[in-house]
Amino acid sequence: MDITQFSQINPPQRLLMGPGPINADPRVLRAMSSQLVGQYDPAMTHYMNEVMALYRGLFRTENRWTMLVDGTSRAGIEAILISAIRPGDKVLVPVFGRFGHLLCEIARRCRAEVHTIEVPWGEIFTPDRIEDAIKRVRPRLLLTVQGDTSTTMLQPLAELGAICRRYDVLFYTDATASLGGNPLETDAWQLDAVSAGMQKCLGGPSGTSPVTLSARMEEVIRRRKCVEEGIRTDAHHDGVDEMVYSNYFDLGMIMDYWGPERLNHHTEATSALFAARECARLILQEGLDNTIARHKLHGDALLKGIMAMGLETFGDLQHKMNNVLGVVIPRGINGDQLRKLMLEDFGIEMGTSFGPLHGKVWRIGTMGYNARKECVMTTLSALEAVLNYLKFPTIQGAAMQAAWDHYCTGNPQ
Amino acid sequence: MDITQFSQINPPQRLLMGPGPINADPRVLRAMSSQLVGQYDPAMTHYMNEVMALYRGLFRTENRWTMLVDGTSRAGIEAILISAIRPGDKVLVPVFGRFGHLLCEIARRCRAEVHTIEVPWGEIFTPDRIEDAIKRVRPRLLLTVQGDTSTTMLQPLAELGAICRRYDVLFYTDATASLGGNPLETDAWQLDAVSAGMQKCLGGPSGTSPVTLSARMEEVIRRRKCVEEGIRTDAHHDGVDEMVYSNYFDLGMIMDYWGPERLNHHTEATSALFAARECARLILQEGLDNTIARHKLHGDALLKGIMAMGLETFGDLQHKMNNVLGVVIPRGINGDQLRKLMLEDFGIEMGTSFGPLHGKVWRIGTMGYNARKECVMTTLSALEAVLNYLKFPTIQGAAMQAAWDHYCTGNPQ
């Protein structure tokens, strides 16, 4: 191998307007490049405690066990599912997009008995529909996705917590794509577990996954407790339920590492923790409600511009996430050719789609650091230019004007 | 919560001379702070291919499947074990420290039938001893640790590959703490799988785990293939063996993500990948053999200094890793008090120990970016000062002279 061919890293400048990852906030990248400290350094454990406090703020919870799972967002999902689901447990998954299928798949790997209800992509479930299924299936866990980027839909969760308590069901949601850009009230909605990701509305790089667990969920997980040989003492006792299939994702061990015993498990991914701390700090400085309002403002401005361009949107707009929009690829336009021109000639990334929407829908994100006016305006004008180049007619100036109008009315400052 | 109490991140400057994490090379931190690109951006997939090539160089292998698992080093360990071990499989683990116990524990969680052989902490196994156990147990996999930081020992592996082939055993080693600082020859030693970590000799932050898989191992894993609902097409077929317990760690899926199909799985932790690329690039620029020699040079200089200080070392020095040294805590000295003084008054972190060595042995690392003369000299002089302060007598100047002498003879340039 000729090592001289591997030059210093120098990624092209891109404006990432897909469904995530998006450009990280430069302040987060700077925080992440801080020099390391040891994992039991008082400075490090202090930062870990701060991260717990900051994410309680983001998750709107008093949950003691609010911490990071080292891995991308699906690491957080899997840690919760594999720690909570015992082989043979019944779980119910309302599937309205790709990430519902993912929850089913992970649950099957945990040897759960998986029951699903489905709606077509682009729709969400009413609480009644979910309650009926709970009555029929009597699951131990309800596994939901809050915002499924594959369809851009946001499932309403506010009423589900009370239903779950009524039937003694543990209530989990995957908020990877929604947290920070859409309301989520862990305690008020009686959620037992939530996981999130950094690379969407939180404005960081993927690599660590914030999770929060209710006291009820803690109790379930503690029943499967296990302490590693080599660091266990006579004071340690294992739980009564069957051992979790994973060591890395055993949340009982991760709690013991984040808790006062600081029992060694993995070596915390310090740089990712620094980044996660800065993401949460920036949002709470802005004010979480303001951050959510900012996502709505820019998401709506994009929507107005897209509609004025004569493009059709995908899915139920009443239940769209603030931070991502599905745009139907017009007849006669090659979706991938347009995305290639956007990337190569304007440095702007738009998203493609999965499964039934593949080749039919583009996805445009306005989230995290890229939930900004200049990102929306730049994307709209480039998109219009490329569409015109590909012979799709638009009314000159209408899309930009619609976005400007929205900013004038929607953002009176 | 009063958000103003959370200030910009500003970790104290530490010299991390424990068993890892150690200070990251500043060039790695800079690479990691590069702005993100999309996960299917041609620039990103090019970087992924470069990472595969670079780590083939570090692992000394032609293995096609040489890639990263997003998580800390035990994520790489678990991905290999959970993907390769089927419930009921027999595995053999030679345990010579804490991380052998960890392999047993993960294997038990994979529902393996776990067989162990043990030596006291501070010793390693002869090939004969391992071959005898293989003949007796007839395992499907041999799970080894190359360098166990808990004891500082380096298990010789060169002869084990041939033994494993003779008995049709799959051969894995955990090289988390050893890769880059000690010889490892994946292909020459006929290893079927190796995993590593960033925060030891590779000089990066923890957060991603390089792994390499032989063609034999790929075949085993492919038999458990599974493609996610929501992205699967009619062209996809599942394997014949039982589904892996984990989605996140299913190496079949991770191969499909790194391979030409680029089948969506997780969202690659781009910043961690940038860091991993820079770590490998810097080592291959230095020359892997030179990097290993540098670890031996500084590890030996530390050893000479420690011995001349009148301190006893731990374990079989013939089989010590180059990059970490066990030092017996002298009678009358409180190990934690000394470490606290080192940290608070000199900014230097030394390691404590686990299990049977807890309270009895300090561990001092010289690895990655900290395998440098000034780190060794600074640590020795600070340690001598603190020992003297705590009334442990030394011969003035002897330790420093021994290290200087070693540098004069051991490093003739």
Length in residues, chain B: 413
Find tokens 């307007």 and name the residue: A17
- Contact status of A105 with chain B (Cβ, < 8 Å): yes
A residues 265-284 lying closer than 8 A (beta carbon) to B = 265-272, 274-275, 277-278, 281, 284
Q: Report the complex ipTM.
A: 0.96
DSSP class of residue A33? T
Q: What is the pLDDT of residues A198-226, one digit of tens each?
A: 999 999 999 999 999 999 999 999 999 87
Which phi and psi (to 5°) does residue A117 adopt?
-125, 150
Question: From the DSSP assignment, how many helices (H) and strands (E) are in chain A?
Answer: 13, 13
Bridge partner list, A364: A325
**What contacts B266, CB < 8 A, 6 or more positions away?**
A71, A72, A73, A74, A75, A206, B70, B248, B257
Closest listed residue to residue B377, CA positions, set B367, B369, B366: B366
Note the pLDDT tens digit of each residue in A75-109. Answer: 999 999 999 999 999 999 999 999 999 999 999 99
Contact A16 B31 (CB under 8 A): no
Q: Which among A29, A35, A97 has CB closest to B23? A: A35
State whether residue A310 sits within 8 Å of chain B by CB.
no
Over residues B112-162, the pLDDT tens digits come to 999 999 999 999 999 999 999 999 999 999 999 999 999 999 999 999 999
B63 touches chain A (CB under 8 A): no
Contacts of A314-319 with C-beta under 8 Å, sequence gap 24+, read: A314/A122, A314/A151, A314/A152, A314/A357, A314/A361, A315/A121, A315/A122, A315/A123, A315/A151, A315/A152, A315/A153, A316/A122, A316/A123, A316/A124, A316/A153, A319/A123, A319/A124, A319/A153, A319/A154, A319/A155, A319/A156
Q: Is B120 on the interface with A (CB under 8 A)?
A: no
| H/E segment holding residue B215 | helix B215-222
* DSSP letter, residue B372: S
Interface membership of B11 toward A (CB under 8 Å): yes
Partners of residue B246 in chain A, C-beta under 8 Å = 78, 82, 109, 245-246, 249
3-state secondary structure of B94: strand
Cβ neighbours of residue A339 under 8 Å, at least 6 residues apart? A349, A350, A352, A362
Res A236 pLDDT > 90: no
Question: Are the C-beta atoms of A199 and A107 separated by less than 8 Å?
Answer: no
- Residue A346 near chain B (CB below 8 Å): no
The confidence score (pLDDT) of residue A235 equals 77
- B270: chain A residues, CB-CB within 8 Å: 21, 205-206
* Partner B contacted by A81 (CB < 8 A): no
Band of residue A37 on the pLDDT scale cut at 50, 70, 90: very high
Question: How many inter-chain contacts (A to B, CB under 8 Å) are there?
Answer: 307
Helices (H), A223-351: 251-258, 270-286, 288-308, 335-346
- Comparing CA positions, the residue from A22, A27, A36 lying closest to residue A271 is A36
Q: Is the pLDDT of residue A400 over 50?
A: yes
Cβ B270 vs Cβ B27: under 8 Å: no
Cβ-defined contact of B207 to A26 (cutoff 8 Å): no
Distance between CA atoms of B278 and A33, rounded to whole angstroms? 14
Q: Is B25 touching A (CB cutoff 8 A)?
A: no
The CB density around residue B334, as the number of other CB atoms within 10 Å, is 11
Helices (H), ranges, B287-397: 288-308, 335-346, 373-389
Q: What is the mean pLDDT of chain A?
A: 96
* Tokens matching residue B326: 């066990």
Task: Please indicate if any CB of chain A lies within 8 Å of the CB of B105.
Answer: yes
pLDDT at A413 over 50: no
Task: Inform me whether the C-beta atom of residue A116 falls under 8 Å from chain B C-beta atoms.
Answer: no
Q: Which of B12, B31, B268 sits opposite A9 (nearest CB)?
A: B31
* pLDDT attached to residue A412: 44
How many beta carbons lie within 10 A of that of residue A287, not counting itself? 12
Residue range A303-328, pLDDT digits in tens: 999 999 999 999 999 999 999 999 99
Query: How far from B76 is each of A277, B38, B49, CA to CA, in Å?
Result: 25, 24, 19
**In angstroms, rounded to a whole number, what is the distance separating the alpha carbons of residues B164 and B140?**
9
Contact state of B101 with A197 under an 8 Å Cβ cutoff: no
What pTM value is reported for the model?
0.96
User: In the predicted model, is pLDDT for residue A193 greater than 60?
Assistant: yes
Quick check: A174 and A146 in contact, CB under 8 A? yes
In this predicted structure, what is the pLDDT of residue B227? 78
CB pair distance less than 8 Å for B9 and A34: yes
| Beta-strand relationship, A90-95 and A65-70 | unpaired
Task: Tell me the CB-side half-sphere exposure of residue A113, using CA atoms within 13 A.
Answer: 7
d(CA A110, CA A140): 14
Contacts of B228 in chain A (CB under 8 A): 98, 101-102, 105
What is the predicted pLDDT for the residue at A411? 56
Q: Of B323, B327, B14, nearest to B149 (Cα)?
A: B323
For residue B412, the model assigns a pLDDT of: 44
Place of tokens 């970590």: B197
What are the backbone angles phi and psi of residue A190, rounded to the nearest 5°? 55, 40
Report whether A350 contacts A149 (CB < 8 A): no
Ordered per-residue pLDDT tens for chain B, 413 residues: 899 999 999 999 999 999 999 999 999 999 999 999 999 999 999 999 999 999 999 999 999 999 999 999 999 999 999 999 999 999 999 999 999 999 999 999 999 999 999 999 999 999 999 999 999 999 999 999 999 999 999 999 999 999 999 999 999 999 999 999 999 999 999 999 999 999 999 999 999 999 999 999 999 999 998 777 777 777 777 777 789 999 999 999 999 999 999 998 999 999 999 999 999 999 999 999 999 999 999 999 999 999 999 999 999 999 999 999 999 999 999 999 999 999 999 999 999 998 899 999 999 999 999 999 999 999 999 999 999 999 999 999 999 999 999 999 855 44
**Which pLDDT value is given to residue B236?**
79
Q: B27: part of which helix (H) or strand (E)?
A: helix B26-32
Contact call for residues A338 and A194 (beta carbons, < 8 A) = no
**CB A37 to CB B228 under 8 A?**
no
